[in-house]
Structure 1
């Protein structure tokens, strides 16, 4: 079984889906001849041709708008947005049209669209290249929001997304693209959407983290009896796994790299407060970035949550 990084695993998922289903097409900036800004689509243009791997103008609203039309009329488009911060130009197309197409048409049309985009800070890129604004999209009914944690799950989750009947936003943590290598089966497989996984079992405190913060959290909880949950799909969120863990631990810490106020961690905290209040032995704590735009390169390491902040939150909640 080959050892692949996340770039290679996603490329393999796309290649397999395109070979299996000629309705799958890819469109985006530089996805064709150049193979994408991170080379995720490398080689697909040569294998499947310009009609199925389409280089587009620098126009995110046009990319998503065209993909919605393709999806409505029977194709299964995969639209690449080079960085999550660039998708704001397509916000209207995604929120006004893609996620509403099924309800607007009373089920006559669906929108089997996958939007892939790198997201998150830590690569020290310019402004709008390191956004972590996943909470904006989790608020939209009809949109599935996925964050793969590594190569194995990236391939399986993307394969599942490519078979989903409605829009999926597939957020690929930029820092993890080449950081982790895992055994990835060469044959097709799926990882179910909407299910969390327990990455590390424990009994004293539940810690929820996703994206590039997952690995940082795993490093930080060494020496603690902590159960670490990776949601993998933020929307719909797997509350059953969270509540089962809280029934055992009674304590909750949430870690994410998005700003604290209105981050998706607030929704997780609300679920715990509403459905597990009598299980809790201490306050729900969140470790997140400050309520500031992502700074330029020299300050990024001070902006992102650090292991010592995670450990401080664990120490505080374990005192109760």
Structure 2
């Protein structure tokens, strides 16, 4: 028999018979009226869980991971302010229901049933997923997260303290607020969670404000794997910089009292706390899960006998707040109300087309004040001697540094964060002097953890900052790519554009470093970035372009709320010469701060018609060298700098190759999964011009003399071009 039906029948029978579980009497500051409100939230949570299973069985609903057993989270919600942003565990329907009771004008049962039905009228996701979340309730949506939301909770908490020093234009959180982040006991073991705990402790240990309340809902099991008894308490009770609180989640009075104490500690001390809420899990993991297949029936029945709603009836009666008979009436009336509402919700429209599903991949633009840019006096005071240096051509790394300086002068909400970017000035000197110019609160030296760096950026974006995190090397991104894929990029999608993560992530990457680092410091794979929907990937090939593209990337993030990755070719950071030593052919002047290269705008060198070479980054540099050899062979070529690698600027590319008799794609990324695959497919589908490609081998990169052996060279580009042009039509 369905366990949800068993629990339901047990509740009806035991309340009617006065057969309530034993426990401590009601005690604490929870008022009678609030206690009844929390019970109502628990009843609605339970009714929705049961209805979700019935809807799925009838083909009308599509989600059955429930919150039954975790009804105590309603008491946690009651202890917090509705302005305290909450990143919720997927079993926290009771929390969201109770928070809705704190905010006028909510129709929470209707809203959640629409989400079960995947209706386009679901006010949070627009029918894309059943998620907890609400803009009105300050609950950003989460999917079935396994701790991936914890790093951004750390970032959001950090941002609250930062607003007291630097108020962003689009500030969303009150300066006296706190961040709440909840998760299960099994998720607490995830490396992402452990990194977030450590980051919060590391920050607090240094006296930096971190108003963050971690809430662990400990039901003792992760799907079918039990958490060792006492594990959560043993591992979190004595952590440096993390205050531990514990309560019985079956007792709403105790839970409210302890949650209120924990929230007061975080709000007053501006330090993180860990609230350990002991709960149970009813019905198994989800609708298709049968707990008796991996647990003894006696264990399952013992949990069911400890039903938190039964405890609530006992506590309410003991406190003189509600008679059991009245509690039973509320329970039955709630079930009947959910049935009536569901009958209407299942008839509401659903998404039908790809266009409808994808409509929220790209967030909406937002209105931004026009700062007008820094004055010349401000620039002179900030740049100092660098103003004189701007009169001469410079290497790429220095021009990026100057562009960052101008952007940070113009937009006070920009903050940089990453390993070694402050006092050291970055591994390659790109961020030199910035900490002196803007201070450590805007140029943040982080701990060595890429997930925490990206989480800091994502969280700060929730509070109106424009984060510019740095990942030291492209290979290091793979430690943390889910923060882009599973959190930043999905947020506008699952919130129907109501929540966004505007951000410019700078990554030093690609290959061709001479004799340094091997595959960890020379990584030529960008596949993981190109297949994230909604993400913009930009890659400059020279210093002037880097400065102008970086300005456009900031505009895209600031005004269009886009998630942007700016990939900086390490080998070109300090490149000076193009054809021969001392000729400074790859150095450029710093472009006027008003100049930008627009999103999707490609570059072109030459106007030959024999051959068009499509490339980017180091490939562009090598193609320029190869073009000199081709010219000696009588080949007139034009070289197209793609600049924007995802999404590909297809219209601009096709326009740029018009009139050419051949096209060669030069791709320094790997043959399998590399950029050339998309380019070749586009050219095959949309042109009749003969085309071929030269790519890097499917290999990691070696250290030492063979550093470039697996990638295109000027000579191999030259040979590939001649080979293409001699192939019979």
Pairing 1:187-198 to 2, within 5 Å after superposition: 187-198=593-604
Deviates more, 1:178-187 or 1:110-119: 178-187
Deviates more, 1:180-189 or 1:194-203: 180-189
Provide the residue aligned with 1:153 in structure 2: 545
- Cα deviation, 1:223-269, whole Å, max 9, x if unaligned, reads 12112111001112121232234441132211121111221111001
Distance 1:290 1:185 in 2: 36
Distance 1:159 1:58 in 2: 28
Distance 1:193 1:110 in 2: 19
Structure 2: any 5+ residue segments left out of the alignment? 1-390, 576-585
Provide the residue aligned with 1:307 in structure 2: 714
* Residue 125 (1) aligns with residue 516 (2): yes
What TM-score do the two structures reach when normalised by structure 2?
0.42
| Kept after mapping to 1: 8 A contact 2:511/2:571 | yes
Among 591, 605, 611, the residue aligned to 1:185: 591
Pairing 1:132-171 to 2, within 5 Å after superposition: 132-164=524-556, 165-171=561-567
| Kept after mapping to 2: 8 A contact 1:194/1:235 | no
Q: CA deviation at 1:202?
A: 1.2
Provide the residue aligned with 1:296 in structure 2: 703
Distance 1:241 1:227 in 2: 14
* Residue 210 (1) aligns with residue 633 (2): no
Provide the residue aligned with 1:49 in structure 2: 439
- Cα deviation, 1:149-206, whole Å, max 9, x if unaligned, reads 1111100111111121211111111111111310113534221122211122110121
- Cα deviation, 1:109-153, whole Å, max 9, x if unaligned, reads 221111111111121322311001123211211110000111111
Pairing 1:1-320 to 2, within 5 Å after superposition: 1-123=391-513, 124-126=515-517, 127-164=519-556, 165-179=561-575, 180-222=586-628, 223=631, 224-276=635-687, 279-280=688-689, 282=690, 284-319=691-726, 320=728
Cα-Cα RMSD: 1.4
For 2:479, what is the secondary structure of its paired residue?
A: helix
Identify which of structures 1 and 2 has the higher relative contact order when contacts are C-alpha pairs closer than 8 Å and 6+ apart: 1
- Cα deviation, 1:43-90, whole Å, max 9, x if unaligned, reads 111111111110001100110011011112210001011110111111
For 2:441, what is the secondary structure of its paired residue?
A: coil
| Kept after mapping to 2: 8 A contact 1:2/1:186 | no
For 2:506, what is the secondary structure of its paired residue?
A: strand
| Kept after mapping to 2: 8 A contact 1:6/1:181 | yes
| Kept after mapping to 1: 8 A contact 2:547/2:591 | no
| Kept after mapping to 2: 8 A contact 1:195/1:237 | no
For 1:183, what is the secondary structure of its paired residue?
A: coil
For 1:66, what is the secondary structure of its paired residue?
A: helix
Distance 1:40 1:245 in 2: 32
For 1:227, what is the secondary structure of its paired residue?
A: strand
What TM-score do the two structures reach when normalised by structure 1?
0.95
Distance 1:199 1:84 in 2: 28
Matched residue pairs, number?
316
- Cα deviation, 1:5-59, whole Å, max 9, x if unaligned, reads 1111111111111111110000000111111111111111111111111000110
Distance 2:507 2:638 in 1: 29
Structure with greater proportional strand content: 1
Distance 1:7 1:214 in 2: 17
Distance 1:81 1:264 in 2: 21
Q: Structure 1 residues 132, 190: CA separation in 2 closer, same or farther (over 3 Å shift)? A: same
| Kept after mapping to 2: 8 A contact 1:194/1:234 | no
- Cα deviation, 1:260-301, whole Å, max 9, x if unaligned, reads 12211110010010111xx32x3x211111111112222113
| Kept after mapping to 2: 8 A contact 1:84/1:118 | yes
| Kept after mapping to 2: 8 A contact 1:16/1:188 | no
Structure 1: any 5+ residue segments left out of the alignment? none
Distance 1:156 1:122 in 2: 24
